[in-house]
Amino acid sequence: MYQLEGRKCSSATFSVLPSDVKLDIFDFIQSKVDQGHARLVNKEWSLIMKPRMWREFKTSLQGNITNDIHHLTPEQKSCIQKIRSLVVDVADSRSRLDVRIEKFMDLLQDDQLLEFSCSGEASLSPKHLLILLRHQSNLRTFRAHVHFQSNTFIDDVASRKTGQTSVFKSAFRFLRSLRIYVGDESQKVRQQEVALAELFLEASPLLGCLEICGWRRSWHDKMDKIPLTSVFSVTMGPRQIPRNLKRLVIADMDLSRGGNKLASTVDLSNLHSLKFEYCDNIGSFLYDVGASIRKTGTLLKVLTVRFRRWRKFCYIDPQINAMDWFLASFRGLEDLEVANWDLGIIDWRRGLATHQTLKKFLLSSPSMYFRDSTSWSNFMGYVLEQCPNLHDFACLIQGLDSARLEDMQLPTTLPDFLVAALDLAASVPTLRTLRLLYTPGLEYPTDTERQDPDTMEKTGRIASHMATLALTYLHSKGSNITMLAFSSDSRWKPGRADKNLQYCPHHYYNRRIINIGGEEIIEAVPLREYMTEYPDAAGFV
């Protein structure tokens, strides 16, 4: 074992699991741990069979686990029965997906699951929703879109609302986190979705986290988003929404005229975390919600406001400068993320005056172009002056990268724009973690590049080289930063084709100091457990 400045890490280098000892099931199921620091395990069978290796899984519902269930080995069945958190991630025809889900459910024991989620384009039919809830009544988390192909379920929903809610109440009696979807289908289907959401909410007395998400048949960003007002029907009101909500996420919705309705329906006084992911018309919404928060005295600790990179937000909402007014409506924020926003129109002195407690801050805006690194440093320095207790800072940097992926040219010195960012970070004595929102060698990594093993191996080498130079420079400046990341400003999750012990476009490193012959040498040690972001809305955006 070696010591990483107070952090113990294994000195073993994990290698790709040999195919001759790999369970067939490994080809079709991905565990959360598998995607992180323990995916590339050694060939010891006992390690493979440990419950922690199988506790959290993402499955494409393909292969032997659904096609040849009756011939699975006892060991394979045992591994499946150790799953507690299950994510279904598959894009396929409705009929084939239903058959796969039903087959997989047969492999699970009753009340085995604690968490169930559908991500990507995967969704449950009403029939399989009921099958799941009848057999899994110990759920803590439920995130799944229910696909209504006809109007036959609406009457069943209505009848259950009159008293036949035992299935929902039994399955959700321990539920802590719920995601509900509202789609762009017909008005009749939307009524069913809202009615089902009401059932979920009424059956979840312990609910602490609510996520309200838009669901569209086409995910082209230019399409109109689902209005938030459609979620709160005439029948849905404060009686259905639990009063002890701590976390609220609203994603991929049109927020126009939704602020007052949200404030009158949801009790905001106990909120700890509020996140708006990829929403439209947010300016007037922030004014309305901010006014309610000011009245209730809500003490938010976490706030996220994120647009898509290519949104022309400055033309979408004339009241977009409501951000600083919203921030000034409460105090005590500890974690703030403002992404793809026009940062120049925000009065940061006013907005952050009541948030001297801020510890984690992500700031990015592709619309801001500075003449040179000096003007960039002046702006960022002004913002950081408002954050005297900041520990973790992430920002978008701009400049010409001297590292070239095509010919693998590794620079011997740091580029000017990177030096400017490091100088700025070194001037903040409280900083411990710095995340620079760019990927060395790739300006904007595409899915094709990320899924190519050779490309990822090259970017990994460039990132490791740059991290060593950067951490050495920070150490020479007396900086207290011990963790450095080169990480694209994205919410992409990694594929499985990586070979470089990193996940492009996210590269995290810890600083290790080695004394050789009386000389201190700085090493950049890759950290696997930090490779992937798991934002609340990552399952569908």
Q: Pick the closest to residue 447 from 495, 400, 401, 412 (CA basis).
A: 495
pLDDT per residue of the chain (541 residues) written in tens, 0 to 9: 223 333 333 322 222 333 223 344 444 444 444 433 334 443 444 555 566 667 877 777 766 556 666 667 776 777 788 889 888 876 554 545 677 788 888 889 999 999 998 875 678 888 888 889 999 999 999 998 888 765 555 555 545 554 446 889 899 999 999 998 887 667 777 778 888 888 898 899 999 999 998 876 655 555 677 888 877 765 566 566 777 899 999 988 888 878 888 888 888 889 999 999 888 888 888 988 999 999 999 989 999 998 765 554 444 454 557 888 899 999 999 999 998 777 778 889 999 999 999 999 998 876 555 666 677 888 889 999 999 999 999 988 866 555 556 666 777 888 888 898 999 999 999 999 999 988 777 766 666 776 677 777 777 788 889 999 999 999 999 999 999 998 877 665 544 333 333 445 678 899 999 988 888 899 998 876 554 444 444 443 3
Q: C-alpha angle 369/373/375, rounded to 5°? A: 65
Cα radius of gyration rounded to whole Å, the chain: 24
Tokens coding 115? 């968490």
Give the tens place of pLDDT for each residue, 218-276: 555 556 778 888 777 655 665 667 778 999 999 888 888 788 888 888 888 899 999 99
Q: Partners of 115 in the beta sheet?
A: 85, 141
* Cβ(190)–Cβ(183) below 8 Å: yes
DSSP 190-259: HHHHHHHHHHHHHT-TT--EEEEEEE-SS--TTSPPEEGGGTS-SS-STTTS-TT--EEEEESEE-TT-H
Q: Is the dihedral of CA 303, 308, 313, 316 positive or negative?
A: negative
C-alpha distances in Å from residue 215, one per residue of 145, 150, 219, 541:
8, 17, 8, 10
pLDDT at 100: 77
Cα–Cα dist 9/5, whole Å = 10
Domain ranges of the chain: 416-541
pTM over 0.75: yes
Q: What is the pLDDT of residue 12?
A: 29
Element (H, E) at 520: strand 519-526
Residue appearing with tokens 């099958």 = 131
| Rounded Cα distance, 532 and 7, in Å | 20
One-letter amino acid of 154:
I
Q: At 48, which helix (H) or strand (E)?
A: helix 45-48
Q: How many residues make up the chain in this entry?
A: 541
DSSP-derived letter for residue 44 is -
| Dihedral class, residue 501 (left if φ above 0, else alpha if ψ from -120 to 50, else beta) | left
What are the residues whose beta carbons fall under 8 Å from the beta carbon of 160, sequence distance 6 or more?
Answer: 167, 168, 199
Report the C-alpha gap between 276 and 357 in whole angstroms.
21
